């Protein structure tokens, strides 16, 4: 086994031990650990920031290290999803079974952080920035804070690390989600002909949204046709003989690459407003997320890092923060060790071979390998 692989495994074991479960764990201790690890490589800039988050969750965190005048940014999130049920052993204690390294976040995506840290021990960082960030798995409030506070370095390109099986992700859908609340006085079902009907109004809106999705099945590029409008749930406090006093409709849509989410938001507002004349009670619309779609602009510009692999990019089925960085003006690709089929799953794992493969790409980026530069 190579020195790189040995060190990557060691780093991954340490990283998995930190409980960075989104909404449950604490990102700050892991952030301080990462800050100390990066400090040993003498970056010109090293900054640890925190981000207050909504819904009573603990603060998010991020660490930014810069060497020279960066030409590329490596970004990896260090939060994980909750561990859930089905784990055969403690999810925060890494286990090795042959090629597999098992533990919470091994695939999504602490394995990439381990590669970056092991890579820094192999090469001298040059004209590169490394951003380790939290809160990717729920809300992306940390990345939004970084962008809004202008903390991103001025770089032309970024590799966003996600479990792509060491293939280059070139595009993916956006994601918009809403919660719509309907209110009324409630009452006995015998009065339903003249009493506000929150569930009925929620159903009317759900039907209108479903028709909107059906009318747009042909939009988008090949492989990403349609808006993927999904009516997720309608909940109320009523019963078959009780008029509910409230109802909530939750829905989402996933605009395809190249689509304008501002147009979709306007369409949703217009569809919702048409329900109001039929609604005898009250209605409020809450936008929960509005993440844009993503598409790489100049894939050939990443050739020095991938050395031919960029000729065979893949489309991604899931959303990533590459969309946010791309919207902020940085051209991105998505790339990392691990398999999305293992992410968010009990006994998730990454293979040593994939760590080695990803490590080669990350080390080229860390060393400042650009066109015409050794």
327 annotated active-site: no
- Angle, in degrees to the nearest 10, between helices 198-215 and 261-275: 140
Q: Is 130 left (phi over 0), alpha (psi -120 to 50) or beta?
A: beta
3-class secondary structure per residue, the chain: CCHHHHHHHHHHHHHHHCCCECCCCCHHHHHHHHHHHHHCCCCCEEEEEEECCCCCCCCEEEEEEEECCCCEEEEEECCECCCCCCCCCCCCCCEEECCEEECCCHHHHHHHHHHHHHHHCCCCCCCEEEEEECCCCCCCHHHHHHHHCCCCCCCCEEEEECCECCCCEEEECCEEEEEEEEECCCEEHHHHHHCCCHHHHHHHHHHHHHHHHHHCCCCCCCCCCCCCCEEEEEEECCECCEECCEEEEEEEECCCCCCCHHHHHHHHHHHHHHHHHHCCCEEEEEEEEEECCEECCCHHHHHHHHCCHHHCCEECCCCCCHHHHHHCCCEEEECCCCECCCCCCCCCEEEHHHHHHHHHHHHHHHCCCCCCCC
Choose the catalytic residue: 13, 27, 136, 141: 136
Which neighbouring-strand residues pair with 63? 48, 132
Which neighbouring-strand residues pair with 65? 46, 130
Catalytic residues: 136
């Amino acid at each position: 086994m190579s020195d790189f692989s040995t060190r990557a495994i060691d780093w991954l074991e340490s990283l998995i031990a930190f409980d960075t479960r989104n909404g449950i764990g604490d990102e700050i201790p892991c952030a301080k650990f990462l800050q100390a690890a990066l400090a040993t490589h003498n970056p010109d800039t090293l900054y640890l920031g925190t981000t207050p988050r909504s819904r009573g969750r603990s603060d998010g965190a991020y660490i930014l290290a810069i060497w020279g005048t960066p030409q590329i940014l490596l970004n990896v999130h260090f939060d994980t999803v909750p561990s859930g049920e089905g784990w055969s052993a403690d999810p925060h204690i890494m286990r090795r079974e042959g090629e597999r390294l098992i533990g919470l976040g091994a695939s999504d995506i602490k394995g990439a952080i381990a590669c970056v840290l092991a890579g820094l021990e192999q090469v001298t960082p040059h004209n590169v920035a490394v951003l380790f960030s939290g809160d990717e798995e729920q809300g992306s409030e940390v990345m939004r804070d970084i962008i809004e506070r202008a903390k991103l370095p001025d770089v032309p390109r970024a590799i966003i690390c996600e479990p792509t099986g060491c293939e280059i992700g070139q595009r993916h859908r956006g994601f918009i989600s809403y919660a719509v609340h309907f209110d009324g006085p409630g009452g006995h079902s015998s009065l339903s002909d003249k009493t506000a009907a929150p569930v009925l109004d929620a159903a009317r809106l759900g039907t209108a949204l479903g028709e909107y999705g059906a009318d747009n099945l042909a939009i988008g590029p090949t492989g990403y046709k349609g808006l993927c409008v999904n009516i997720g749930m309608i909940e109320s406090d009523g019963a078959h003989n009780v008029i509910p006093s409230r109802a909530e409709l939750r829905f989402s849509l996933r605009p395809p690459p190249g689509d304008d989410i501002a147009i979709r938001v306007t369409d949703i507002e217009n569809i919702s407003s048409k329900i109001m004349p039929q609604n005898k009670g009250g209605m409020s619309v809450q936008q929960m997320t509005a993440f844009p779609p993503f598409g790489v602009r100049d894939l050939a510009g990443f050739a020095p890092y991938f050395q031919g692999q960029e000729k065979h990019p893949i489309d991604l089925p899931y959303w990533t923060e590459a969309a946010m960085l791309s919207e902020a003006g940085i051209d991105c690709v998505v790339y990392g060790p691990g398999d999305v089929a293992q992410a968010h799953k009990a006994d998730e794992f990454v293979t040593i071979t994939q760590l080695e493969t990803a490590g080669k790409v990350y080390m080229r980026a860390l060393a400042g390998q650009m066109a015409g530069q050794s």
